[in-house]
Structure formats: structure tokens, C-alpha cells
Amino acid sequence: MIDIKLLAKDFDSVVEQLKRKKVDSAILEKLQEVYFEFKSKKQDLEQLQADQNAKSKLFGIYMKEGKDITALKQEVSENKQKVAVLNDEVREIEERMSNILIAVPNIPAEEVPTGADEDENVELEKILTPKKFSFEPKAHWELGENLNWLDFERGTKLAKSRFTVIKNQASKLERALINYMLDFNGRCGFDEVSVPFIANANSLTGTGQLPKFKDDLFKIEDEELFLIPTAEVPLTNLFSDEIIPENELPIKLTAVTPSFRKEAGSGGRDIRGIIRQHQFYKVEIVAITKQEESENMLNSMVDCVSKMLTELELPHRKVLLCSGDLGFSASKTIDIEVWLPSQNTYREISSISNTQDFQARRSKIRYKTNDKKSKNILAHTLNGSSLAVGRTLVAIMENYQTQDGNIEIPEALKKYI
């Protein structure tokens, strides 16, 4: 959630920044209107409360001086009623303000380039050179069916389209990738955690999936519970509504979970194969840091993912997302895209984001410095795929295919398989 004080302090500047993220200025104008109504009522309430306290102190003085307290008692009683009415009004305005604010996305960082969509993202660096094949490389779905690795028909039979049965050597390779990724992240300093695959509405609201992306979530009937779309949700919310001692930061976590997504807005993209599925395994990395350390943490998380892909000898590139392609909660995002020979292009395999204090404000994740007089400070939270297991499997199948239709195994994975 953005800081409402920023909006009040410099409304025009915040509006211009959020317009870069395609936010309708009418929503922000409504938010500003409600905020100033809240601020005015709050000041009236605080003044009444101050008067109430001052009058209450007069009782003792009047009693000592032998004064009649009848009129004072009447004033205090009337003032108490006014305080109760104003309290209700303030709560109602605050609720209206929260309902607007919860749907406003994070402000893009200053260094994020302005752009409409993914076509205006900025390439930062290419790592490794794509292999030149002496034959026409096959797509992963063709390789998978020929080798009896991927069964699309039975996946659809068991559930519906975009569910796939991964079997035989592909299943072993998937398991090897998960173990390899968790071990690699451990070497990067991330502590491994096993978390629930179901999250409540508060957790999903905290990380920004609710209310905006409700249609993309699988909800459990008659429960305010959902299948998680990413391990970012439980990992980040491990510390919701907590105050973390400064000396425990940064907190760095990794977990493997299935991710469940309806892909409501995918518009028929990537129907073939396993690039865009309703259920897939993903290894996630999450960090909670002090405010001044989050940018360095973002860079170190990007390096961790890139080094993993380099060790797997998969050509990839780093891309800075433009304002129009940024996610709802992200202030800055660097995507890592892996080379897919069959498509002759790079495709996203990891997205690493700094949300700054946006999620922490929604989830009440704070830290306290060693100075006992200091106020609680909102933490910065970061998250990233490390990696989407299915897409990594796709990249290995396509980049390590041989002319006879088999798949070689990357050297880094051989001890896991």
C-alpha cells in the first residue's frame, strides 16, 4: 500500500508517477478528497478529546475549591457524546479511504523507465551465447511427447487444459532441478522453509494479490482460503504484524511450492506446452531488509538467479521492466529471460522485484533499531522466482536436445539425477 501521507504532501507528483503505471487519476483524486475529509474530522476529534481531558482534570480542582460541578458534569457528558459520534465518523471515512487505497498499485522507482508495455523494457545484459544447432531444433512439447516425458491428454483428462502429467525422466529431472535450486539458494544465503500451499485472505491482501487479482486465484469453497499463486505469499507473511529486531535483518528465505493460477488474463497465450500452466512448481526467494539495504539486496538476488542459470549453461539476459509492465506491488523489477531455440527468442524464467515498503505497510512488517527511543520502521520486502521449475525444464529440453531427439543432462544436475 502506498503511503497516504505522500499523496497529501505532493499529490501532483504522486499522480504523475502512478500515471506511468496506467493508474486512472480519477481514482487518486477521489482518494485525495477522502483523505482531506479524514484529516479534517480527525483534527476535530483530537480537539474534542483534548477538551475532554482538560475538563476532566477540573473535577478535582473544583472539589478542592468547593465549587459546584453540575455544569461541568453536563459539559463533560455532552462532550463525551460528541466524541463518540466523531469517532464513528472517523472510522467510516477511514474505511472508505482504505477501500480505495487497497486498489492503488505501488509507485515505480525513479530509475524505472517510462513505457507502455513489455516492448519498452530495457535490456541490461546478455549472459552466454545461444548454441548454433546443425539441425532444426524442436519445441519442448514435441520433444516431450516423442520421449514420453509430457502427457498433455491425460493431464486434461484428470483436470482440464493447461494441466500436464510430467513423467519418466522428465519427472526425475524436475525433482533434480528442485533439489539443485534449493541447494544453490542455500549457498547464496537463503534459509530453506517449508510452508502451507493454502493462504488466507489477509496473507494474499498483504502481498497484493487481493483484491485486484481475485479472479486469477483458485478459491476453496465456503472458506476464506485460496491455493497460493506463489510461495512469495506465505514466505513474506511469516512476519506479518511483527516487529523484527534490527540485528535479525536481512531475513533471506527460499521455498519450493506448487503455484496455482487460473491465468484469467493470459488471453490464450502459450496454449501449447508447459510454459503457462494452471499448476506448476516454483522455487522462490524472498528477502526482508532495512530500507537502505533493499536496492543492494535486489542486485544480489538477480546475481544469484543469473549465476544459477550460468552454472546450468543456459543462455539468458537481464531486463529492466518499464513502468507499464511493472507488477501491482513492484516498485522495480528485473526479469531474467532464458533462450528458447524453438522460438528463437528469450522468454521470462524469473522475475525479481523490490516492493520497498508497499507490502510491509499492508502486512504490518516492521523493524526496530537498537535505539530504544526510535519508532518502528516499515521494512522493505523483495521476492523472485529462483526458478520456475517447469520453464527451466523447458529450457533444458530445448537447449540440450540432440539431433536424434534425446536430451542431454547439464553437468551441474548429474549428481542429483
Say if residue 8's pLDDT is above 90: no
3-state DSSP assignment of residue 191: strand
Query: Which of 34-48, 157-171, 194-208, 272-286 has the least mean pLDDT?
Result: 34-48
Q: What's the CA gap between 288 and 107, in Å, rounded?
A: 19
Name the pTM for this structure: 0.90
How far apart (Å, rounded) are the C-alpha atoms in residues 136 and 390? 23
Work out the percent of the chain whose per-residue pLDDT is above 70.
99
Tell me the Cα Rg of the chain.
Answer: 27
pLDDT given at position 267: 62
CA neighbor of 338 nearest in space, from 330, 328, 350, 346? 346
Q: Contact, 327 vs 352, CB < 8 A? A: no
Tell me the average pLDDT across 52-63.
Answer: 81
Once rounded to an integer, what is the mean pLDDT over residues 45-60? 86
Q: Quick one: pLDDT at residue 268?
A: 67
In what helix (H) or strand (E) does residue 252 lie, and over which residues does it extend? strand 251-260
- Give all strands (DSSP E) within 70-223, no chain letters: 122-127, 150-151, 165-166, 191-192, 198-200
Confidence of residue 1 (pLDDT cuts 50, 70, 90): confident
List the beta bridge partners of residue 346.
339
pLDDT one-digit tens code per residue, 106-164: 999 999 999 999 999 999 999 999 999 999 999 999 999 999 999 999 999 999 999 99
| Residue showing cell 529450457 | 395
Q: Can you give the pLDDT at residue 60?
A: 79
Residue 63 reports pLDDT greater than 80:
no
Rounded to an integer, what distance in angstroms lies between the CA atom of residue 410 and that of residue 393? Answer: 11
**Would you call 398 helix, strand, or coil by DSSP?**
helix
Cell reading at 42:
480527525
**CATH number of 4-101: 3.30.360.10, 3.30.470.20, 1.10.10.10, 1.10.287.40?**
1.10.287.40
Residue ranges of E strands in 95-227: 122-127, 150-151, 165-166, 191-192, 198-200, 225-227
CATH superfamily of 118-416: Bira Bifunctional Protein; Domain 2 (3.30.930.10)
Residue type, 344: N
Distance from CA of residue 5 to its chain's centroid? 22
φ, ψ dihedrals at 200, nearest 5° = -85, 170
What's the mean pLDDT in 9-36? 88
End-to-end CA separation in angstroms for the chain: 44
Q: Is the CB of residue 136 less than 8 Å from the CB of residue 246?
A: no
Q: List the chain domain ranges.
A: 4-101, 118-416
Give the bridge partners for 351, in sequence order: 335
Return the C-alpha cell found at 148. 514420453
Tell me the pLDDT of the chain averaged across its residues.
Answer: 94
pLDDT of residue 341: 97
